[in-house]
Amino acid sequence: MRDWDDMRLFLALARAESLARAGARLRLDPATVGRRIARLEDTLGQRLFTRSHQGYALTEDGARLMPHALAAEAAMTAASHAAADTTSGLAGQIRIGAPDGCANYLLPQVVAGICAANPGLDVQIVALPRVFNLSRREADMAIAVSAPQAGRLSVQKITDYRLHLAAAQDYLDRHGPITTLADLRAHRIIGYIADMIFDSELDYLHTLGLDRVALASNSVAVQVNAIRLGAGVGVIHDFALPSAPGVRRVLPKAFHLSRSFYLVRHLDDRKVARLNRFAELLCSGLRQELLRLEDLAAAA
């Protein structure tokens, strides 16, 4: 089980025994509930529910998971009560470093929500296409696409995210359909500048054997805009697709990638309650926003 959002969804369906009723309780579309439960089962490698015309019933694996989900629910309820007793909000300045995909398409709305609830808080988002050096205090915390293995750091996995090939519908109309991965060699490819890829997790095109990148940038936002304007085909984060109207996923069944975001902090900062609270809100907000945007992309 990856996080509380998964547990909350699992419990709602276990109790409601219906996608429609679970969706009503969670204020989610039933199809969204179904997709996220299927994704959870894929992640765990277990079948949690049996499906029939009567509804959804727990399997043996689901029944074994139930006590753990209930314990998590109790812990979250207790935490909510404790938070409700806090009389003062977060204040002061916090600087976050992040790769520009996350900084452009996820952090603004998540941070805006946190700041709205904490008027005394100032947040700085530093978007850089490289790894942040926290030992030099470039930021109070950083979001990374791979977990660092050295240094006095605290590393917490935030969530997984998905990427697909994508192109503007206008480009596809002009250049013809792409029906196989081999067809990509006849198209203009958009991606990273090869010698400026700062993490091997970002070398998306290597898995496709595509050596030539016709339009390259070290910025995700530049790549997304180039794709949106019909300049070619590239790999896009699913969470960025709702910000690129007219862009469609290409060969989603034949090619997709899964990557992860990690929150990296100074080890000593784990003693700072203000930063701990902000980190909790940030991680929770990123998970929820990413799921919302990926659901929008899947439904498009």
Instruction: Show me where the domains of the chain are located.
Output: 4-84, 92-159+260-299, 161-259
What homologous superfamily does CATH list for 161-259? Periplasmic binding protein-like II (3.40.190.10)
Summarize pLDDT for 101-124 with one digit per residue, the tens: 999 999 999 999 999 999 999 999
Nearest Cα residue to 187 out of 222, 234, 223, 219: 234
Summarize pLDDT for 167-182 with one digit per residue, the tens: 999 999 999 889 999 9
- Mean of per-residue pLDDT scores for the chain: 88
Largest CA distance in the chain: 61
CATH of segment(s) 92-159+260-299: 3.40.190.10
> pLDDT at residue 163 above 90?
yes
Mean pLDDT over residues 193-210, rounded? Answer: 83
Same fold, 4-84 and 92-159+260-299: no
Question: How distant, in Å, are the alpha carbons of 1, 76, 241 from that of 4?
Answer: 8, 8, 25
CATH 1.10.10.10 at 4-84, yes or no: yes
Summarize pLDDT for 243-281 with one digit per residue, the tens: 999 999 999 999 999 999 999 998 888 888 899 999 999
